[in-house]
Structure 1
Amino acid sequence: MTEIVRSRLELEPTALATRRIGDWLAASLAHLDTATASALAARAELAVHEACMNVIEHGALPAGSTIDLALEATPGELVVRLVDRGAPFDPSGVAALPADPERERGYGLTIIRSLTTAVTYRRVGDENELELRMEIGGDDAQR
């Protein structure tokens, strides 16, 4: 891949709206070979979905807010940025939860971290920006 692909998606903050993530990612990664696109889209969909659900369930979004997604696929890397106007939350300060067969929830950040090569957060004005990075191809591509 020699081109840079950019794409955006605006979501209402509902679980139903997150169903659009998979199709958006698949269309955005269609320029890759089929096997690479399929594997990457599956990882990215789960990571982005988990991040969006965290915003929806815990972000205390103001009425009328959206979750804005921006994708950039460069040679070797996929970056998806989520922007929301919810309460500030820096996931870097949250330790991974130990496995517990009795716990049914709370694994979102662990899942996101396991599927990405880097997760960064910053607060810009009244917005949260969460950036998820994934390698395209290479050793980390089959995480």
Structure 2
Amino acid sequence: YIGTLAVEFFVVDDALVINEMAPRPHNSGHYTLDACITSQFEQQVRALCGLPLGETRAHSAAAMVNLLGDLWYEVGPTGHRHREPDWSKLYAFPGLKLHLYGKHHARPGRKMGHFTVLDADPERAHALAVAARAAIGITDAH
């Protein structure tokens, strides 16, 4: 195989379990767009074109949050109502980079975008990402 190969792992009862192998750039590595010298997308192009591979080192700590289609719906007394999330709330967070994928229809569970929070300190990046999630209405129920 030539190209980017993503391997998604989980830790279950102190054992490492492979969940998925994807022969392509993968959502779990989208943070590389903002946090690494060479993103997984650029690395894929380099590999397929026979170019030298790029430096993969992270230049910042990062925390990434997936934006699922559920976020585009508000539950009210008359049921679910479609609404665009208020993205302006995210821009109050330093180091936050928003990526919307331009999909036309939001559905529950569909990946519609993500944001990445960059910071020199990994714990601060995580704390800012958690606060940004809350600011746009992402709860543990999402």
TM-score of the superposed pair, with normalisation by structure 1:
0.27
**Structure with the largest fraction of helix:** 1
* Larger RCO (alpha carbons 8 Å, 6+ apart): 1
**Structure with the largest fraction of strand:** 2
TM-score of the superposed pair, with normalisation by structure 2:
0.27
Q: Which has the larger radius of gyration?
A: 2
